[in-house]
A and B are shown apart, each in its own frame.
Chain A
Amino acid sequence: MRFHRLILFFFLTSVFFISCVKDDFDFDKIKSPTWQPGVAVPLVGSSLTLENVISKTGNTQFGSFDGNNFCTLIYSKDLYSVGAEDFFQLPKLQNNKSIVIDPIISSQINNIGTITFNAEEYISIPANINATIDSIEFKGGQLEFTASSDFKHHIVMDVTIPGATKNGVAFNKIINLTYNGQVPVSKTISVSLAGYNFNLHKGSQIGKIQIKYKITATATGNPVSGSEVISMALEMDNMKFSRAFGYFGVNSIGSGLDTIPVELLKDGQSIGGFSVDDPKFILKLSNSFGIPTRVDVPSIKSLGGTGNSINLATSLPIPLSLPSPGMNQIGETLYTQYVLDKTNSNIVPFVENNPTHILYNVMIGTNPNGPTANFITDQSKISASLTMELPLNGSIKDFSMIDTVDFELKDEEMIESLLLRMSFKNGFPIEFGSKIYFIDANNSVVDSLLCDQPQLISSANVNSAGVVVSSVQKTTDVLVDRSFVNRIAKAKRIVYILNSSTANQGNSHVKIYGHYKMDVNIGAIAKLKVTP
């Protein structure tokens, strides 16, 4: 009996425990777990120097550094440029000539069998400018010669251009007009001008091409009416010269009044004011035309965004000196430049006018002193450019840029809170502020960030010369919670405004060196809520 009770005790105890255990292992009763990790992520970690930014972006033409690593911004614009093929062009040449053979001679042809006679003509080469050309070396173009005869006899035409030589051999072509029972008899030949050197005639037919014809007629026994004509049509087209010599006349090839846009500020950028200590303009002229020229730049004006115009009021000489290469300098380019700074121009107010455009007038005239021996090559060019050198020594007040980017927050339900930590160790004498606005589809601001932070990045400390003596670190934590996330989830766009000034709210003149450095560390801790 005791044994049975013991068995019963063990049985009931086992049932009790098993029922308890079964409850604990009923996985259908497990609630969906929630996982809330805090993920700290570095977003940006960079050490930026101006020198590095300029070299990495390939904008080395916009910035240079001297031996002390002092930075100068360089901004170049071409004012005017004219090339040889713009200056001197050879339009299409067309010339027709007809030869009527003396009826007495032609009537005897059937008796004589063969008759020969000569003819010549001088043809002017047309040009777009008033010029007297001595010689032209062609690199391209086409010469087409069409001969036609209504003689009922065989004609052989020997055409020679004595002044046109290629490899020392004068141009010579023979055209056979063989009578085949029908008149007129025509034939066309086409010759490339590439490689031909045309020495144009001098004396009474100066500047013209001499063409000689030797015509031989062989009788066929057909009658002669006496009114037969042999005609020649010459056409030279697409003429491209490699060199041309002569006198290219007195011509004006200047720019006239013109403007160029200045992109110091782009769309969305504005500036409260700035000052620069020692800007420079360099007017650079270059010439590879073998033609004496006169260059005048009577005005250079800066047109500010407000419409205010300031003349550079230069003390440039009139005319400017621009040498031209001589016959022993063919292919060379000669330069001259004029430096305009605050000692010889109105450049400081010119720049501080914050120009959006520069108005200028470049006037160039050829052969101002009368006829001389000129030359041009197909590479010849006269150009004028203006380079602005802006040493980064000055002050900027309230430079701001505003931009808009599309925004869509994804998986926002996972984010419980977000701590954004922005740490800047600034070695530049510039302070920055930023504001970020989240905009919904109705263009309403749903929330903003950093609007209560006048400064996000503090300026480095500078001495009286405007040189940085120590970096300044500033760390800003922005904590956004779940309700903020809910609000910006409705946003479709972000408008961000970046504002910057040089040290002391733009009241200090500073100098910018290439080795100045800003350490940027931006990181975030996202408190997530993950439900598998």
Chain B
Amino acid sequence: MYNMKNNPVRNTLNPAYFPMQKAYIGMPLFSGISVSFTNSGFTYSDLIKKDSDDSLYIDVANAINSMKGENLINVNTQIDLFNAGIVIGKKYFVGISAAERVHMNLLYNKDLFGFAYYGNEAYLGEEANIEIKLDATHFREYAISFATELTDKFSVGTRLKYLYGMENVSTKKTSIHLYTDPTTFAITASGNIGINTSGLSNFSDTENFNMNQYLFGKSNSGFAFDFGVQAKPVKNLILSAAVTDLGSIKWKDDAINYNAAHVNNEFTFSGIDINELLGADDIEQALTDYADSLASQFFLDTTYYSYTSTLPFSFSSGIQYNLTKKISTGLLYQGYSFRDYLSSTLSANLAITLGKKFNSNVVYSMGNNGRSALGLGIGLTFLQMHWYLVSDNVMAFVKPQEAKSTSIRTGILMTFGK
């Protein structure tokens, strides 16, 4: 969608983009719906295999082999509640929007599955680092966009967003390091567990649920902004760059914090220490006490402090060249950052624009997950209605079992002028 000139809401990806139309207004609830899914670790067919008798079987080992050290499961959905924009004069653009957004990012490492599936025997003499980084957020975004052409060749834009938080689950640094001695099998564990949640009582306490309070009365708020630039240094060449969703939400309502009681406390279990049982009147009770003492190493403390979660942010940089008035081609780098994980995609596109009526884009992309994908986008304008449909991996709809990621975005807007 980034290079689909006819699409008025492509400025959600780069606020410096001006729409080709004079104005647009999104159909409430239909102006934009998007769903994207990524599992960089493995595909469905990596996990579910077909046997010679045509039955299916679960091949966890193969799925684990497909994983990299660190893998991301990412689910993003967005429903635009309202979307409108207008070009003022020739140099200014102002837009407003509201959207309901849910994103879930889960970073997991290969050891998480490897340790669970193979057991610690596979890690004798080496450290298994089990790490989970999770952020699942449901929030509403109210945004106001502004773009301006500073010169004929250079425009900038920004979007300021007020964020209304509804639910969140996010981990702080949550990792467990386990080392199994190859000789004695003594297990040394260290690590940290920190989990924050907000708004989850809505799911368990349905009797006291208040819709109005839920939709508008929460005090979880935050701010974010997008920023973009576009330059036309020479005729037919367009350079662009943007960053989106730089911001955070402070969670105050129904905030619960679960933290490990013994933070980073290295603990070694070498087996039952007979010395602890010597002289015990009741061996069974002594063993129970011993087990309780071990378990206490993993107790979680619960507190109720407010906390802040940051949004995963995206950034992009592209170069586009108009081969003709109707055909353009270019390269686009897109990055998605969650915590310290960066998902990168480099894509080449060929866009065909037939006036205001038709716009199509073919994209071939390669991501740092090693997979390539073919994306398609079309935009049709009939009368004042503009409908668009884009996907960055259309083959995922044909062979979903082999897709690591896909997305689809569609919407209908009314466009005016130009």
Contact of B279 among A21, A38, A40, A58 (CB under 8 A): A58
Assess whether B183 is in contact with A21, with CB atoms less than 8 Å apart. no
In the bound complex, residues from chain A placing their C-beta under 8 Å from that of B48 are 24, 30
Residue interface bits B271-301, CB-to-A below 8 A is 1, else 0: 1111100110000000000000000000000
CA distance A20 to B121 in the complex (A): 39
In the bound complex, residues from chain A placing their C-beta under 8 Å from that of B370 are none
Contacts known (A30-B56, A423-B184, A523-B185); A35 close to B117, Cβ less than 8 A: yes
CA distance A48 to B278 in the complex (A): 10
Assess whether A42 is in contact with B44, with CB atoms less than 8 Å apart. no
In the bound complex, residues from chain A placing their C-beta under 8 Å from that of B272 are 43-46
Contacts known (A31-B51, A31-B57); A42 close to B185, Cβ less than 8 A: yes
A17 lies within 8 A of chain B by Cβ: yes
Q: Which stretch (B76-84, B138-146, B354-362, B396-404) binds chain A?
A: B396-404
Assess whether A24 is in contact with B44, with CB atoms less than 8 Å apart. yes
Contacts known (A423-B183, A475-B183); A21 close to B400, Cβ less than 8 A: yes
A524 lies within 8 A of chain B by Cβ: yes
B120 lies within 8 A of chain A by Cβ: yes
Shortest distance from the beta carbon of A424 to any chain B beta carbon, whole Å: 11
CA distance A526 to B183 in the complex (A): 15
In the bound complex, residues from chain A placing their C-beta under 8 Å from that of B124 are 40
Which residue of chain B lies nearest to A35 when distances are taken between CB atoms in the complex?
A: B117
Residue interface bits A73-109, CB-to-B below 8 A is 1, else 0: 0000000000000000000000000000000000000
CA distance A39 to B56 in the complex (A): 27
B55 lies within 8 A of chain A by Cβ: yes
In the bound complex, residues from chain B placing their C-beta under 8 Å from that of A38 are 118-122
B54 lies within 8 A of chain A by Cβ: yes
Contact of B185 among A23, A41, A527 (CB under 8 A): A41
CA distance A33 to B55 in the complex (A): 12
In the bound complex, residues from chain A placing their C-beta under 8 Å from that of B275 are 46-48, 52, 56
CA distance A522 to B186 in the complex (A): 9
B269 lies within 8 A of chain A by Cβ: yes
Shortest distance from the beta carbon of A131 to any chain B beta carbon, whole Å: 48
Contacts known (A45-B186, A45-B270); A17 close to B398, Cβ less than 8 A: yes
A421 lies within 8 A of chain B by Cβ: yes
Residue interface bits B183-212, CB-to-A below 8 A is 1, else 0: 111110000000000000000000000000
Assess whether B184 is in contact with A521, with CB atoms less than 8 Å apart. yes
Assess whether B278 is in contact with A56, with CB atoms less than 8 Å apart. yes
Assess whether A57 is in contact with B401, with CB atoms less than 8 Å apart. no
A26 lies within 8 A of chain B by Cβ: yes
Assess whether B401 is in contact with A45, with CB atoms less than 8 Å apart. no
In the bound complex, residues from chain A placing their C-beta under 8 Å from that of B116 are 37
CA distance A17 to B403 in the complex (A): 14
Contact of B270 among A20, A23, A39, A521 (CB under 8 A): A521
- The count of residues in chain B whose C-beta lies closer than 8 Å to any C-beta of chain A is 39
Contacts known (A24-B45, A57-B278); A30 close to B121, Cβ less than 8 A: no
Assess whether A53 is in contact with B278, with CB atoms less than 8 Å apart. yes
B88 lies within 8 A of chain A by Cβ: no
CA distance A31 to B51 in the complex (A): 9
Assess whether A24 is in contact with B186, with CB atoms less than 8 Å apart. no
CA distance A40 to B269 in the complex (A): 12
CA distance A518 to B29 in the complex (A): 74
Residue interface bits B384-402, CB-to-A below 8 A is 1, else 0: 0000000000000011110
**Residues of B110-162 contacting chain A, CB below 8 A:** 116-122, 124
In the bound complex, residues from chain B placing their C-beta under 8 Å from that of A2 are none
A25 lies within 8 A of chain B by Cβ: yes
Assess whether B119 is in contact with A48, with CB atoms less than 8 Å apart. no
Assess whether B187 is in contact with A33, with CB atoms less than 8 Å apart. no
B75 lies within 8 A of chain A by Cβ: no
Assess whether B121 is in contact with A37, with CB atoms less than 8 Å apart. yes
A525 lies within 8 A of chain B by Cβ: yes
Assess whether A24 is in contact with B121, with CB atoms less than 8 Å apart. no
Shortest distance from the beta carbon of B403 to any chain A beta carbon, whole Å: 11
In the bound complex, residues from chain B placing their C-beta under 8 Å from that of A480 are none
Which residue of chain A lies nearest to B50 when distances are taken between CB atoms in the complex?
A: A24
Which residue of chain A lies nearest to B401 when distances are taken between CB atoms in the complex?
A: A24
Contact of A33 among B58, B120, B181, B183 (CB under 8 A): B58
Shortest distance from the beta carbon of A26 to any chain B beta carbon, whole Å: 7
Shortest distance from the beta carbon of B386 to any chain A beta carbon, whole Å: 25
Contact of B54 among A29, A42, A421 (CB under 8 A): A29
Shortest distance from the beta carbon of B20 to any chain A beta carbon, whole Å: 29
Assess whether A44 is in contact with B121, with CB atoms less than 8 Å apart. no
B60 lies within 8 A of chain A by Cβ: yes
Q: A29-B54, A37-B116, A421-B183 are in contact. List 4 more A-B contacts (CB 8 A).
A: A31-B55, A37-B117, A45-B273, A527-B121
B residues adjacent to A (C-beta < 8 A):
44-45, 48, 50-51, 54-58, 60, 116-122, 124, 180-181, 183-187, 269-275, 278-279, 398-401
26 contacts across the A-B interface (CB closer than 8 A): A24-B48, A24-B50, A24-B56, A24-B401, A26-B56, A31-B56, A31-B57, A37-B117, A38-B119, A38-B122, A39-B119, A42-B185, A42-B187, A42-B271, A45-B186, A45-B270, A45-B273, A46-B274, A46-B275, A52-B278, A56-B278, A423-B183, A475-B183, A520-B274, A525-B121, A528-B119
